[in-house]
Chain A
Amino acid sequence: MSRPAQRGMSGRAKAALALIALMALVPPLAALAGDPFLTVVASRMAVFAIAALSLDLILGFGALVSFGHAAYLGLGAYAVAVCARHGITDLFVQIAAGAAASALFALVSGAISLRTRGIYFIMITLAFGQMAYFFFVSLSAYGGDDGTTLAARSTVFGRPLLENDTVFFYVVLACLATAFGLLHRLAGSRFGRALAGTRESELRMQAIGFRPFRYRLAAYVISGMICSVAGVLLANQTEYVSPAYMAWTRSGELIVMLLLGGIGTLAGAMAGALATVALEELLAGWSEHWRLGFGLILLGVVLWSPAGLTGLIRRLLPEEGR
């Protein structure tokens, strides 16, 4: 039996860990280069990598194209704002609050949207995302459309550790590593195999005794909860919370990250998020019309390497296989 999981860690998992290890080198390198802004950019990369990873669980492993995933970024971000307003600044409490709110939202919206397939599923998730968006637009206590500025970053054990950009970066990176570890284990578990089965053949799954809806809904809830952690971190990074975090264009960007990196591979989700944020920074420095250039690059990747960056790398390194 030649089975990747029994041969130890797969090439993809190694690639993902290598990526995380490389990112850990950014703060010292930024210090050497005398450009602390690099650490800030790396934090943003890691935050979006968490969000993209969470989307990969439902889109990549479950083949459920959710077009409302940014709602969970927003719910996490507003958990910070709402908690802070009520004097709760502890990061862990805020994460728990964001995850709880996201679990509830995912449970209700998933129970409805997962009864549909294809374009209908995309439209219903979009509709739920927009509902969340307009709910916070109309929430004038938190600035409505304009959003609200945070007085300070969250505290850890009562201490303002996150105010230091380097410490903050490593906290985000630790969250990213944890999210990757959890999702990697999940993908290889009984649940992960059942979820992959629902992606490949719903009818077959029923014929061998599974009810696909349950597995999809569970994945949908887990995905939303993980994404909300990215939202908590995003709010801390920008020290600002607004409904723009949950705009439908943001949901589209998360899908683009997966396309760019390679769908259903976890490592691809991370690479796609990193590349997207990097391109955004680079191209935006050249021209305000950077999206045009980004569009061309995306077009090129989709046309020449449908498996995204991971597919491209795999083709260059045939030995590594999977």
Chain B
Amino acid sequence: MTALLEARGLCKAYGALSVTDDLSMQVAAGELHAVIGPNGAGKTTLIAQLSGQLAPDRGSIRFGGRDVTRLDMPARLRLGLARSFQITTLMPAMTALENVALAVQGRSGSSFRFWRPVAAERALNEAAMACLEEVGMAGRAGRPAGAMSHGEKRQLELAVALACEPRLLLLDEPLAGTGPQEAEVLVALLARLKGRITMLLIEHDMEAVFALADRVSVLVYGRILASGAPEAIRQDPKVRAAYLGEEAG
């Protein structure tokens, strides 16, 4: 297996607090790699560094064989590294279709076009519609994102990420705050995407993680404590002691 994404010796500290502590990990092409860990383990900070939102203090990140450590988010996105957000950052006043079409616009052609109505660009709308269909939101295309239920927003969040046509998708707790039925829809969706898009999934929902992941890494205090197949991780005494004990029981 070749690594599509590789972090080596990542360090990030806020004052004396080391949030990412000499972290190294690989995501192989085609796999769904889950990262689990207790609250405060540094999961979101890891995503922020991998996506380019946050610069690491030390260490390097390679994506598709290129060193991307110094590239910002838009530049990494252009290489195919996209992300979703834990806290919804959709455009509340825009409709679902407009939210997704804006992401399509971001990767296709210049946005310094001042005259032609963007709402009438068929290529944009069709590509956006396809992404909405993919997440089962085609019927909600005309609704403002701000007026949607939490579960719908999570689905739309994925549609926006798909619109970026990623080679690798960094998913920051896509199930956060969803009810059991909403979570079921999203897990089924991720299972469909699996294999087609490489994914790094950060998630608290253990059931979802063990159902979806090809490989699981356990993050504790900013370090990878263990990494391996879901079954092996479930049995790992270190992991059970540090984290899984109460939850996987």
Partner of A193, one of B77, B102, B107, B109: B102
- Indicate whether A5 reaches chain B with its CB closer than 8 angstroms: yes
Known A189-B114, A203-B53, A210-B111: A5·B119 in contact at CB below 8 Å:
yes
Query: Which residues in A have their C-beta under 8 angstroms from that of B89?
Result: 201, 203-204, 207
When the two chains form their complex, are residues A204 and B114 in contact, meaning their CB atoms are under 8 A apart? Answer: no
User: Is B97 a contact partner of A190 (Cβ separation < 8 A)?
Assistant: no
- For B199, what are the chain A residues with a Cβ–Cβ distance below 8 Å? none
Closest to A200 in B: B91
B142 close to A (CB within 8 Å): yes
* Interface membership of A188, Cβ < 8 A: yes
Q: How far is the CA of A208 from the CA of B91 in the complex (A)?
A: 12
Tally A-B pairs: CB < 8 A. Answer: 112
The interface centre, meaning the residue of B72, B113, B121 with most chain A CB atoms within 10 A of its CB, is B113
Chain B residues near A185 (CB-CB < 8 A): 114-115, 117
Q: Verify B117–A191 contact, CB threshold 8 A.
A: no
| Distance, CA A308 to CA B92, complexed state (A) | 21
Q: B217 near A: Cβ within 8 Å? A: no
C-alpha spacing A268/B247, complex, angstroms = 56
Measured CB to CB, the closest approach of chain B to A189, in angstroms, equals 5
Contact between B97 and A215, CB atoms less than 8 A apart: no
Q: Which of B72, B73, B114 neighbours the largest number of chain A CB atoms within 10 Å of its CB? A: B114
B141 within 8 A of A: yes
> What chain B residues lie within 8 Å of A188 (beta carbons)?
117-119
Which residues, 68 to 87 on B, are CB-close (under 8 Å) to A?
Answer: 72-74, 77-78, 82-83, 85
Question: Taking A1-B141, A207-B83 as contacts, is the C-beta distance between A6 and B106 under 8 angstroms?
Answer: no
Bound-state Cα–Cα, A203 to B53, Å: 8
| Interface positions of B from 97 to 111, Cβ below 8 Å from A | 97-98, 101-103, 105-107, 109-111
- Chain A 1-29, CB within 8 Å of chain B: the 1/0 string? 11111100000000000000000000000
B92 to chain A, nearest CB (A): 7
The residues of B that contact A238 with a CB separation of less than 8 Å are none
Is the CB–CB distance between A209 and B113 below 8 Å?
Answer: no
- Nearest to B142 among chain A residues (CB) is A2
Are A3 and B74 in contact, CB atoms less than 8 angstroms apart?
no
Contacts of A192 in B (CB 8 A): 114, 118
Q: How far is the CA of A192 from the CA of B85 in the complex (A)?
A: 24
Q: Which residue of B lies closest to A198 (CB)?
A: B91
Contacts of B225 in A (CB 8 A): none
CB distance from A51 to the nearest CB of B (A): 20
- The answer on a CB contact under 8 Å between B113 and A210 is no
- The answer to the question of B95 belonging to the interface, with a C-beta cut-off of 8 Å to chain A, is yes
Per the 8 Å Cβ criterion, residues 112-127 of B in contact with A are 112-121, 125
> Which B residues are in CB contact (< 8 Å) with A4?
119
Q: Is the CB of B163 within 8 A of A215?
A: no
Nearest chain A CB to B216 CB, angstrom units? 25
> Do B119 and A208 touch across chains, with their CB atoms under 8 A apart?
no
Cβ–Cβ contact B91 & A3, under 8 A = no
Is A194 an interface position by the 8 A CB rule? yes
The docked-state distance in angstroms from the alpha carbon of A208 to that of B119 is 18
The distance in angstroms between the C-alpha atoms of A114 and B82, with both chains bound, is 26
CB distance B102 to A207 under 8 Å? no
Q: What is the 8 Å Cβ interface bit string for chain A, positions 202-246, against chain B (1 contact, 0 not)?
A: 011111111100010010000000000000000000000000000
> In the complex the two chains form, is A209's CB within 8 Å of B90's CB?
no
Beta-carbon contacts of B173-212 to A below 8 Å, as 1s and 0s?
A: 0000000000000000000000000000000000000000
Whether A194 and B92, one on each chain, are in contact in the complex, defined by CB atoms closer than 8 angstroms, is no
Chain B nearest Cβ from A263, distance in angstroms: 13
- A9 and B98 alpha carbons, distance in the complex (Å): 18
The 8 A-B residue pairs whose C-beta atoms are closest, nearest first, are A5-B119, A209-B106, A200-B91, A208-B103, A208-B106, A204-B89, A206-B73, A190-B113
Query: Can you name 25 A-B residue pairings with CB atoms under 8 Å?
Result: A185-B114, A186-B114, A188-B117, A189-B113, A189-B114, A189-B118, A190-B105, A190-B111, A190-B112, A191-B113, A192-B114, A192-B118, A193-B102, A201-B90, A203-B89, A204-B85, A204-B89, A204-B91, A204-B160, A207-B51, A207-B82, A208-B106, A208-B107, A211-B72, A215-B111
14 additional A-B residue pairs with CB within 8 Å, beyond A193-B118, A201-B89: A5-B117, A5-B120, A185-B117, A190-B116, A190-B121, A191-B111, A191-B114, A196-B94, A201-B90, A206-B72, A206-B74, A207-B73, A208-B106, A209-B78
Report which B residues bind A (CB closer than 8 A): 51, 53, 72-74, 77-78, 82-83, 85, 89-95, 97-98, 101-103, 105-107, 109-121, 125, 141-142, 160, 163-164
